[in-house]
Structure 1
Amino acid sequence: MSAPATPASPAPSWTTGTTPNRFAALPAGRLGRLGGRLMRLLNRGQQREVLALLAAGEVDGAVEVVEVGPGPGALLGLLTARADVRRVIGVEPSVDMRALAIRANAAAIAAARLEVRPGDAATTGLPDGCADVVVSVNTVAIWPDLDSGAGELRRLLRPGGRLLLSWHGGRAPSRAARPLLLDEATLGRIETALRRRFDTVERTMTRRCTVFDARVARATRLDPNPPAR
């Protein structure tokens, strides 16, 4: 009888070359559940700052949103509470964080306004053009591959869609976040990866966040009555 397969170790992050820790980067087990509960408290301000940038009215009608790496699901709850958001999908690689997010947002899930599913930035398992907005807070530096993640999130967006990709930073980062700040060379690599795939990319500084605001051009409508040649 063969021995049970050993679970594969998480891939190292592209920024450090080291495996994400089980406390906050890729939470697992009792330690990870504790980390998830702390994230729910400590990241609340950053999540609200990113949410304030989301002018969903720029997209016609109520929007569909994908959050990549929602952790314990605090931002999922804020998104589903918005009247201009029709449906939200959370894609989370951690089994323990998915459980916390599902528990915290049971009412929205029961109302079919929210789905929480396994996956990560490079492999969401979602169809092409399924979202008007993709948002991810404090995940980009721990992705295994920056280019694969950027390409996957672009694939999810419809014409006119928008990506809000945020990391610790901003005009006045908290003391706890300062060891996590990315240097300009690393931020530049993120911006370059996005510019290869998106039509416009802007870097925005909120109080606690450095946010990359990347947009897909709206589809050009054919003139039903083109001028005669």
Structure 2
Amino acid sequence: MASNPASWATGGPVTSPFARPRGMRGRAAGRFMWWTNKQHQEDVLGALDIRPQDRVLEVGYGPGGLLRLLATRTEAAVIRGVDPSAEMRAAATRANRAAVRAGRVTLGLGTADRTGLADQSVDRVVSVNNVAIWPDLEAGLRELHRVVRPGGTVVIAWHGGYSPGRIARRLRLPGDKLDRIEDALRKIFGEVTRIELRSVDVFKAVR
């Protein structure tokens, strides 16, 4: 894979340290994400509708903030994560040390289109604020469809919503890009809902 793969949303290379954090800049980006994504993660947690004993996968877990919410506020039996950054795996492991030691949270290296999980192995999949930097939208969605069980749910969120903050307003996707996400989901999932939460635009797809 190229060191700076192109984004499907912009067509240009992704050079932001938030895409694949590494080194000092990556660690700084992780700290920034930890604080700025808190509201987004709170909003998305409810949309996930986690049930007792669910197996959950987070794609692009970053410094591990949503993983902590999943571990402390839900009854999910298994929480897995994939992220392309070794720096973020280390940060997320530190942030979820007890849950990792207990075996409830497992963190790996991977991407939306290459999770490394078995077919139909999870009940819920969530991605917060990274779909627009995937190199291949359709390949990522096909992979998430593959790993979620029939009747399972995939939730994809990106900066936006009905009351976005300054950062979300700057990063929100134009309508045609949001339409492309929805159209791509509808081609492979049985039921797709598009909603605006406070700080994020959310797509909820049921296999």
Q: TM-score, normalised by structure 1?
A: 0.87
Equivalent runs, 1:3-42 vs 2, <5 Å: 8-42=2-36
Paired residue for 2:67? 76
List, as ranges, runs of 4+ consecutive aligned residues in structure 1 with deviation greater than 4 Å.
Answer: none
- Aligned residue in 1 for 2:41: 47
Could you report, residue by residue, the CA deviation over 1:30-84 in whole angstroms, capped at 9, with x for unpaired residues?
Answer: 0111011010000000000000112223xxx410000000000010111111342
Q: Does the CA-based 8 Å contact 1:10-1:20 persist in structure 2?
A: yes
Indicate whether 1:203 and 2:184 are aligned. Answer: no
What is the CA–CA distance in structure 2 between the aligned matches of 1:27 and 1:18, rounded to whole Å? Answer: 18
| C-alpha contact 1:22 1:32 (8 A) present in aligned 2 | no
- TM-score, scaled to structure 2: 0.96
- Alignment gaps of 5+ in structure 1: 1-6, 217-229
Q: Structure 2: which amino acid aligns with 1:76?
A: L
Output the aligned Cα RMSD: 1.2
Q: CA deviation at 1:8?
A: 4.0
| Structure 2 unaligned residues grouped into runs of 5+ | none
SS at match of 1:25: coil
Are 2:135 and 1:141 equivalent residues in the alignment?
no
Distance 1:130 1:177 in 2: 32
Q: 1:134 aligns to what SS in structure 2? A: strand
Please name the residue that 1:104 is paired with. 95
Give the greater-gyration-radius structure (CA).
1
Correspondences of 1:125-136 after superposition (within 5 Å): 125-136=116-127
Distance between the aligned counterparts of 1:93 and 1:87, measured in 2?
20
